[in-house]
Amino acid sequence: MSKGSVLPQYIAGLSASFGALCMGASIGWSSPVEKMLTVDGDYGFPISSSQFGWVSSLLTLGATVVCIPIGFAIDWIGRRPTMLALIPPYMVGWVLILFANNVTMLYFGRFILGACGGAFCVTAPMYCTEISTTALRGTIGAFFQLLIVSGVLYGYLVGGYLPLLTINILCAILPLIFFTVHFFMPESPVYLAMKGRNEDAAKALQWLRGKGTDIDDELKEILEESQKQTDAPKVNIFSALGRPIVLKGLLIAVLLQVFQQWTGINAILFYSASIFEDTGSGLTGTEASIIIGVVQVASTFVAVVIIDKAGRRILLLISGILMAVTTALMGVYFQLSESNPGSMDNYGWLPITSICVFMVFFSIGFGPVPWLVMAELFSEDVKSVAGSIAGTSNWLSAFMVTLLFPILKESIGPGPTFWIFTVIAVLAFLYSLFFVPETKGKTIIEIQHMLSGGKVDKSENRSET
């Protein structure tokens, strides 16, 4: 096949992943507005700390409940129409937050934002892997995480220096920008072929590979794989999910998503301002949050550049072990601070450095890789629902961590709480070492062969353009 342009793939992948930026902004919103809501009373009605905890965590609960239903929707109406259909409810969520006159409106608004963001978290990675060549699948698949952390930084920036109404407006316009851009993108050629729309699949693939590019071989492969799915005996989705190869892939995808959250990322993101103020570092919570956001965006950008060169598994291993080291150091700092007040006054740099290093190595491994692998492991007949189950496990874990972190911090202290994250990071490292396969450069057929117990010859680990 002649070499085509990569630019259309990048444009389509970034436009789909812009939905992740919308979700990231909703995540980043929580930290800078906490004082505005609970202390300053900017909404004009009282919000207690416990109520704000629910305002924060309902975002992740909304994402949890939507993932599995959206898995059926993306196979029913398509990847692109599903993402576009999320924009009206997204706007309803922001309208509730903009015009809230009681805490219940905030609860519903945050829940709706979470549901829409969670739907993007299933749909966008799948769309990105389906529009990409094998050689670019890792890079374009990692756009999703890059845009999430960029959205978090956006939330920190606008939240740190602007009044509440302006913050809400600047976050509310993001879904409208997504709709304007993604409206002009093609549907996934893989989805179109699954639906028997072969001519539309050819047009979409031609757009994605560039005008004048020879797409015959790739189109033939997509259509043949789609035909195999069509010709296969029809089984219900629950029977399909029960196949040993699917269960193996599902276990890998779910555990990677669980490890992503239980290593403590959302606890640090949601409560970064208060963590830094507790250290006596001299930095304001806003400044510390922005530092975290910048580090995370820069590190995720590095992951986008190297993920198709280094591979998925090695990044998980490096990520897991360094997250364990840094959360252990944070635990030591807080434990010594509590047991010997004043003893760590000159070491405020330690938790700041530890959290920044944590962010660097989370962002190159357990940040982007679970979302990418989730979209790579499954055959077309189960991909949507299996990916939805993995996404549900991610957001349910995020909800639990966000809710439990302040409770644990209060009851057992911040030191032991961070040591729990250390133990989980060590388990994540060991799991990646012994059970996670390398999917870099492999086609879906090769990945399925590997999951079934077959070995992929190194000569098959090729790059396609």
Which CATH topology does 7-185+233-460 take? Growth Hormone; Chain: A; (1.20.1250)
Residue 12 amino acid letter: A
Tokens 């050629």 correspond to what residue? 189
Q: What is the pLDDT of residue 71?
A: 87
Distance CA 448, CA 460 (A): 13
At 139-178, the pLDDT tens digits run 898 898 899 999 999 999 999 899 999 999 999 999 999 9
- Listed in sequence order, the DSSP H helices in 132-281 are 137-161, 164-182, 189-194, 198-209, 216-231, 237-241, 244-262, 265-270, 272-278
Q: How many other β-carbons are positioned within 10 Å of the β-carbon of residue 462?
A: 12
Q: What is the mean pLDDT of the chain?
A: 87
CB 280 within 8 A of CB 345: yes
CB 456 within 8 A of CB 445: no
At 29-69, the pLDDT tens digits run 988 898 899 999 999 999 998 898 889 889 989 999 998 89
At 112-125, the pLDDT tens digits run 999 999 999 889 99
